Amino acid sequence: MSGLTKSPWIIHYDASSCNGCDIEVLACLTPLYDVERFGILNTGNPKHADIFVVTGSVNEQNRQVIKNIYDQMPKPNVVIGVGICACSGGVFKECYNVAGGVGQVIPVDVYVPGCSVRPEQIIDGVVKALGILEEKRAAFAAESKKGTDTGANADAKKDGGN
Amino acid sequence: MIDTATASAFFTSGISQVIGALLFILLAPLVGGIITGLDRKITARMQGRVGPPVLQPFYDIKKLFEKEKMVVTTAENFWVFAYLVFIVISGMLLFANSDLLLVIFALTLAHVFLILGAYSTGSPYAHVGAERELIALMSVEPMIIVAAVGLYMVTGSFETYGIIVSSTAPILLIPCLFIGMVYILTVKLGKSPFDIATSHHAHQELVKGLTTEFSGSTLGMIEIAHLYELVFLLGFLFLFFGLAAPLIGIVVIAAVYLLEIFIDNAASRAKWQFVFKGCWAITLVLGFLNLFALYFVR
Amino acid sequence: MLDMLCFLILFPLIAALLMLILPNGNARDIIVKIAALITAAGSVYLFIETFGKGIRYVSIGNGTVDLIVFVAELVIALFIIAISLKFRKYIVTALGAIQLAFVLYLEYLMHSGVLPAAGELFADEFSMIMTLIIGLIGGIICVYSVGYMRGYHEMHKDVKDHRKLFFFLIFLFLSAMYGVVYSNNLVWLLMFWEITSLCSFLLIGYARDELSWNNAFRALMFNVLGGIAFSAAILYIVAVIGDFGYLFMDKLLASGSAVAIIPAALIGFAGLTKSAQYPFSSWLVGAMVAPTPVSALLHSSTMVKAGVYIIVRFAPIYEMTYTGMALSLVGGITFLIASAVAIGQSNAKKVLAYSTIANLGLVVACAGIGTEAAIWAAILLIIFHAVAKSLLFLSVGSVEHQKHSRDIEDMTGLISEMPKVSVMMLIGIAGMFLAPFGMLISKWAAIVAFIDAMKPFGAVYIMIIAFGSALTVFFWTKWMGKLIEVRHPKTPLAREATPQEMFSLYFLTTLTVLATIFFPLISYDLIIPYLESLGSAVPVLLSSGDIITMFIMTVTIVLLPLSMAYFSNGRTIKGQYMSGRPVDAELNFSGSLGRTMKTDISNYYIEEYFGEEKNCRYGIVISVLILAVLAAILVYTFTSGAVL
């Protein structure tokens, strides 16, 4: 088993939720649910994170922010949309400033619908995400092995900036 | 308890230095990892949680090395690597009978490398973290030097083996210096309330402060260095007991570490002004009084 | 032998006179370089020639020379009076008048007696160390000046070109500096001492604006004050001790504390003024208005070293006396407070100035203690500080020409624009405070020396050095951090500095590294023999274990950059984390309402604790109190004859 699935670190971004789902995400850290049992830590820094947890619907103001955060997460990583707003825009879907769910901006691996989501559901979503993370890790390991052989990483350097 | 004559015969032979150094290089990460794991477990229990497995620090490090090698500038890796290397060297020297002052300087050098690594990223958050780490370094430095001098004055030796084979435990004559060292240990371990530069606890106002821009294997190197440094610091504390009271030493150090965990959980982060002033005041009062008194006791 | 010592004093003097005649231009520049080369080569030759041969004396034995010395001292005093009258600096005039009176009275007293003519000049291992510092660093700074001064006048169009005078003064200074370290006769030493003060005064006032003159006069005031103390020491020997033989330093030093403590204390006081210890330190900070090579040569690596040189020379007299302790406490307080003040400065030259004051303070602290171990530490400090600090001054000078600023904040990310100069600056800074570089070794030696010194006051020194070195770490590291803090890489400049400047920087960098690598040799072959010549048993100062430890560190430091090759491959480069906001290359980000917000990162200066004014005030008050106690001790010694 890889280290990745035993130590998934999370960054949580509140796109524009009503804070209901945010409270539930934090509830996962409380003694009742204690996600640190699984080595899960809330880092607050995309550069340290493996799992991107987004709550709330995406609007025009934070579209770029979500993209940037996702971009700054080292591979392999997964994205979880937590709450119905993050999945589809929820009740805000038709608002003039709302683009919709997180999937509009970045590829999402796991959707956890609910309003608001229960902590058990979130943990369940994260466990699902771990399976995907493991697949991605295997793929990444194979790719980077090939990459270092051919020096294909050179073009990765070009897309600096955020 | 242990026959000091046999012990000093062993410790004066060159082979013991090689063994000491090798043991440190190989075992320190294991010991440090298990202590850190226990730390997290105990922390969780104090908060009424189950907590992660004891081996969690190893999983974390393994994971970090599996990730993409992402950097802001390739120079940051150089500085962080230099940090790791010098943490290992300073520990190695400590366990291989080197001059204690030189060991301390090597440790300072290591931290300077880490700070420079944070600077080199050019990131605002890392920058503030670096400045704060620098303040932390400035806060603890005097106490460590004073402690080394105190150990020398009691045992007549700056060399670590010379200190541990001393017939009386140094702590009997320099208790205040030990208390001072315990105080600054909180800063060195980066525990609350003195975790001003970077924090193990969720978010803080500086994102991750010093380590904000480090990810993947770069962060992994820092984590490994932390394990080495933990063993280094505990080893330094052991010098206060030496072979005159090894078991008491281990028990006291374990108690001290438990106390650190408790403080870590009970305290919120202090302002850097408090860290700086507190450490210097402690050093000035406890350090000076104890050193001054030593001139009359000796 | 005779030829070489005299040659090193006379040759720069001749070169200096030549500089007055030669017009600006390539010919003069080449002659400057040749003269510098000859001076440096002469120093090295003298070093090799005298190596391992112990102390040598040279007798000139000629009344004419004494007359010249007298006339020179007269001229200096008159010049000081005249120029201070012209600028209405009446305090300096008064001091100059006192000096003049002392010189005349001294000549009157000496007139009746006969001065034994033996060994006016001398050279031992310590002189040789100083010779190398003056010759190599002085020489290379002359070379640097050629390029620098050309750029200086292109940059400062308003400053009138006095380069003839500049090079005259630089070479005159070198000559005087050799004189200071070779003189055995204190009257001669005083003359050379005064010449260096005068050179410093005129070079600080080089720009000839109001600020420069004011700072120059402040420097002159304190230096003349020191000169007066020095002449008072000589007067004391002549008038009170009454034996002209004690005008020779070797005899005075051999006479022991009972005879020599009062003149030694007065000369120590002169040393404090020259090496800018509190309460006199303000002149050295003001002296930073001078062109950078002047700061490098006079105000960090050589002239201010004359102050500590003389204190180290008299260290055996100070050993285990309260007089010595007072001096060393002044040094210790200076080390502590000047280091603290350096944290609050963002002007690179001011940081260097305060760090110079601090390090000189540490030397004085060691020398005042006067034990063998302390002297060992003091001499090591002198060597390493001279090399690393001159490198730093010169690199700051070169940066200033490119960036038109001396501010450390403006050096942000300098390594991507001026990689070569920056790396050398980093080595220079590392040389000032990091293991395994020299200064740190000296600090380590100082700690060891302090423990057993002046029991139980050793504890005070330990606290001073423990806190002081922590402060040192802070301001140097944040400077290093600024140099390497690159927000986005820029194209390096094609030409970072003039060839002369680059050559000097390369040379000094090499010297810094070599001094670090070969420091055990410096210790065994130069400093230990000097300590042995002082007559007492020298303890083991450097165990083989310590050398191995330092060797391990040095080798690791040298090998570490190789890791760059590995770390530069296969990395994904991503920008800094800016909380996800869209940013440009300089990290300016779009804030709310679409405004672009500027990102500015500045170092901590913590003025609240490390403010210049407040701390300097403390420094001055404390040091004046200590000096008052010193004066009381001396009065007591004078009246009762008991050495404290």
Q: Where are the domains of chain A?
A: 3-146
Neighbours of C455 (CB within 10 A): 11
Phi, psi dihedral angles at C590 (to 5 degrees): -85, 120
pLDDT for the residue B197: 82
**From CA C435, how far away is CA B109, in angstroms rounded?**
6
Q: Are B60 and A141 in contact (CB < 8 Å)? A: no
Q: Which residue in the block uniquely carries the two structure tokens 């309460």? A: C279
DSSP labels, C66-91: HHHHHHHHHHHHHHHHHHHHHTT-HH
Query: Three-class SS string for C356-394?
Result: HHHHHHHHHHHHHHCCHHHHHHHHHHHHHHHHHHHHHHH
Q: Is residue C82 part of a domain?
A: yes
In the DSSP assignment, the letter for residue B159 is B
pLDDT score of C268 more than 60: yes
Which two tokens mark A61?
């103001």
- Domain contains C477: yes
B138 and C489 in contact by Cβ < 8 A? no
Chain A residue with CA closest to C580: the answer is: A65
Residue type for A147, please? G
Contact flag C478-B134 (C-beta cutoff 8 Å): yes
* Mean pLDDT of the residues in chain B: 90
Q: What does the DSSP assignment read for C520-568? A: HHHIIIIIHHHHHHTTSPPPP-S-HHHHHHHHHHHHHHHHGGGHHHHHT
Q: Is residue C75 part of a domain?
A: yes
Nearest to C577 among A47, A66, A156 (CB): A47
CB contact under 8 A, C563 and B81: yes
Cα gap C586→C574, rounded to integer Å: 14
Q: How many structural domains is chain C composed of?
A: 1
**How many angstroms separate the CA atoms of C308 and C270, rounded?**
10
Q: Are strands B70-71 and A98-100 parallel, antiparallel or unpaired?
A: unpaired
pLDDT at residue B110 in the model: 95
Domain membership flag for residue C580 = no
Q: What is the pLDDT of residue C107?
A: 84
| Contact with chain C for residue B274, Cβ under 8 A | no
B137-186 pLDDT, tens digit each: 999 999 999 999 999 999 988 888 889 888 889 999 999 999 999 999 99
Which residues of chain B does A72 touch, with a Cβ-Cβ cutoff of 8 Å? Answer: 70
Residue A161's pLDDT band (cuts 50, 70, 90): very low
pLDDT score of C63 more than 80? no
The pLDDT score that the predictor gives to residue A116 is: 84
Percentage of the residues of chain C whose pLDDT score is greater than 90: 52
Give me the torsion for CA of B265, B271, B274, B279, rounded to 10°: 60
Please, which pLDDT band fits residue C97 given cuts at 50, 70 and 90?
Answer: very high
Give the CA distances from residue C139 to residues C8, C55, C125, C613, in Å, rounded to whole numbers and listed in that order.
12, 25, 20, 36
Ranges A66-70, B101-105, C202-206, C639-643: which has the least confidence: C639-643
Question: Burial level of A67, CB count in 10 A (0-12/13-18/19+)?
Answer: middle
pLDDT(C243) > 90: no
Tell me which residue in A42, A47, A76 faces B213 most closely, judged by beta carbons.
A47
Say which residue, B1 or C239, is predicted with more confidence: C239
Q: Has residue B39 got a pLDDT over 70?
A: yes
For position C497, what pLDDT does the model report? 86
Please give the residue of chain B at the shortest CA–CA distance from A162: B72
- Domain-embedded: residue C308: yes
Top pLDDT among A131 and C53 is at: A131
Contact (CB, 8 A) for A44 and A76? no
Whether residue C110 has pLDDT greater than 80: no
pLDDT at A159 (0 to 100): 37
State mean pLDDT over C238-265: 86
Tokens representing residue B187 in the block: 């800063």
Report how far residue C46's alpha carbon sits from residue C43's, in angstroms, rounded to the nearest whole number: 5
Q: Is the pLDDT of residue B56 over 90?
A: yes
So what's the pLDDT on residue C299?
87
* Residue C2 pLDDT level (bands cut at 50, 70, 90): low
Assess contact for A10 and A50: CB atoms under 8 A. Answer: yes
Which residues are paired to C38 by β-bridges?
Answer: none
pTM of the shown model: 0.93
Q: Is there a contact between C357 and C284 (Cβ–Cβ < 8 Å)?
A: yes
As beta bridge partners, residue C597 has C589
CA dihedral over C233, C237, C240, C241, signed as positive or negative: positive
Phi, psi of C579 (to 5 degrees): 55, 30
Distance of residue A60 Cα from the nearest chain B Cα, in angstroms: 24
Q: Check CB contact under 8 Å for B207 and C466.
A: no
- The model's pLDDT over C342-351, given as tens digits with 9 standing for 90+, comes to 999 999 999 9
Contact B211 A6 (CB under 8 A): no
A59 contact B CB<8A: no
pLDDT value at position C500? Answer: 86
Give the neighbours of chain C: at least 3 Cβ pairs within 8 Å. A, B
Q: Using 50, 70 and 90 to split pLDDT, how confident is the model at B17?
A: confident
Q: What percent of chain B has pLDDT over 70?
A: 94
pLDDT band, residue A153 (cuts 50/70/90): very low
Token readout for A73 is 């997460």
Q: Does B249 touch chain C (CB under 8 A)?
A: no
Mean pLDDT, rounded, of chain C: 89
Q: Is residue C35 part of a domain?
A: yes
Whether B46 contacts chain C with CB within 8 A: no
pLDDT at C390 over 90: yes
Task: Tell me whether strands C589-590 and C596-597 are parallel, antiparallel or unpaired.
Answer: antiparallel
CB contact under 8 A, B60 and A75: no
Amino acid present at C430: A
When CB atoms are compared, the residue of A3, A72, A141 closest to B59 is A3
Chains with 3 or more CB pairs under 8 A to chain A: B, C
Cβ separation of A157 and C570 shorter than 8 Å?
A: no
| Maximal C-alpha separation, chain C | 91
Q: What is the pLDDT of residue C327?
A: 93
Under the banding of pLDDT at 50, 70 and 90, the label for residue C115 is low
C482 chain-B contacts, CB cut-off 8 A: 119
Question: pLDDT grade, residue C151 (50/70/90)?
Answer: confident
Task: Give the whole-angstrom CA distance, residue A18 versus residue A5.
Answer: 30
Cβ pairs B/C, distance under 8 A:
195
> What is the CATH T-level fold of the domain A3-146, as seen in this structure?
Rossmann fold (3.40.50)
Residue C382 belongs to some domain of the structure = yes
For chain B, the domains span 4-297
Geometric angle at alpha carbon C566, from C560 and C570, rounded to 5°: 150
Query: Cβ contact (<8 Å) for C574 and A45?
Result: no
CA distance B13 to chain C (A): 13
At residue C503, the pLDDT reads: 92
